[in-house]
Structure 1
Amino acid sequence: MHRPAVARLAQYGSTAMAELPPPYLAPSLHFSMPRSNVQTSNFSTTPVVAAGRGRDMNRTRGVSAIHRTGTRFNLSASKYPLPKPVSPDQMKPRPATPNHGLWGFFPPSHEALSTTEFDAAFGRPWSVQELRNKSWDDLHKLWWVCVKERNRIATSNLERSRLKAGFGDHEANQRDEAIVVTQKTIKHVLRERWHAWEEASRLYAKGYRPQDQDTMEQETMEEVAPAEDPFKEDIVKETKL
Structure 2
Amino acid sequence: MAAPAMRPPLSMGGLSRIRMMASTPTAPIHPSFTQRASLSTSSVLLKRHKYVGARDNRDHSKSRGESAMRGTGTRWRLSMSDEPLPRPVPREKLPPIVTDPDHGLWEFFYNRERIVNTPEEDSKHGRAWSVEELRHKSWDDLHRLWWVCVKERNRIATANFERENQKLGFGEAEAAERDKEVLKTMRAIRHVLTERFYLWEDAVELAKKDPEVNLTGEGPAFTPKDYLEEADAVEGAADATKVPEADAATSPDPAAIPSATSTAEAPRL
User: When the two structures are superposed, what TM-score results if normalisation uses the length of structure 2?
Assistant: 0.43
More helix by share: 1
User: When the two structures are superposed, what TM-score results if normalisation uses the length of structure 1?
Assistant: 0.48
More RCO (CA 8 Å, sep 6+): 1
